[in-house]
Amino acid sequence: MKNRKKPTKPKRATRTLFDRVGAQGWRDSGHFTFTVVSGALRGWIADRFPRAPRKVLSVGCGGGELERRLADAGHRVVGVDVSLAMLKSAHRRGMTAAVLGDAMNLPFPKASFDCVLLCETIGYVDLARAFGEANRVLNKRGRLLITTYAPAVAAHVRYRKYALDEIVPSLTGAHFRVAETRFLRVNRNTATVAPRPEDAKVLFIDARKDAGC
């Protein structure tokens, strides 16, 4: 049996950023995510789930806004985040299953979840390692749902923007196949498919774990 790679530590600057958000709140921290500010986007993502309850892992769960929406729909949601302050914020919103950890060394056994979420998270992680860990903790019919900033959006200095043609090979290398991609127009009250990528604010990807992996 091969030894697993030595766990990585989340970058101190990223952890500090989200400690500040957790302590001050999004509005006063100078940072935001579309998943937080847009109830419509949270609803759009929630609608991608079947009605039957699923066990969901949200990586980089932050303050738990989307996760509460999913829990209210009957799904069993576990959140993981590098920031204890963000987990405390999520707990105040009712998330009882919240774990300190990072995307590149998830503290869960194999095949623990039906779905993994990486919502506006991939810019803070190594894609290959994060997608590999997502594959490991998913069951054999698992789904990986990703949102990230679209090309025209100016991201936070700590967030690395990836184009779709960079993300897809990393997913393939981690034994996922891409089932759906959408570029979305998003504001507080609406989330709709954009006619062109340059009109979008959010890129959405639905990837499925390859059979046998």
Q: Does residue 22 belong to any structural domain of this protein?
A: no
The full DSSP string for 14-31 is HHHHHHHHHHH-HHHHT-
Q: DSSP 3-state assignment of 100? A: strand
Q: Does residue 168 belong to any structural domain of this protein?
A: yes
For 114, the token pair is 């039906």
Structural domain count of the chain: 1
Q: Does residue 152 belong to any structural domain of this protein?
A: yes
Range of the domain at 46: 28-209
Q: Does residue 20 belong to any structural domain of this protein?
A: no
Q: CA dihedral in degrees (86, 91, 97, 98; nearest 10)?
A: 10
Query: What would the pLDDT profile of 38-89 be if each residue is shown by its tens digit?
Result: 999 999 999 999 999 999 999 999 888 999 999 999 999 999 998 888 888 8
Query: What would the pLDDT profile of 168-202 be if each residue is shown by its tens digit?
Result: 999 999 999 999 999 999 999 999 999 999 999 99
CA pair distance 37, 92, nearest whole angstrom: 18
Residues sharing a CB contact under 8 Å with residue 184, sequence separation 6 or more, in sequence order: 41, 44, 150, 191, 192, 193, 194, 200, 201, 202, 203, 204
Q: Does residue 133 belong to any structural domain of this protein?
A: yes
Q: What is the CATH number of the domain that holds 153?
A: 3.40.50.150
Q: Does residue 4 belong to any structural domain of this protein?
A: no
Query: What would the pLDDT profile of 123-174 be if each residue is shown by its tens digit?
Result: 889 999 999 999 999 999 899 999 999 988 987 777 889 999 999 999 999 9
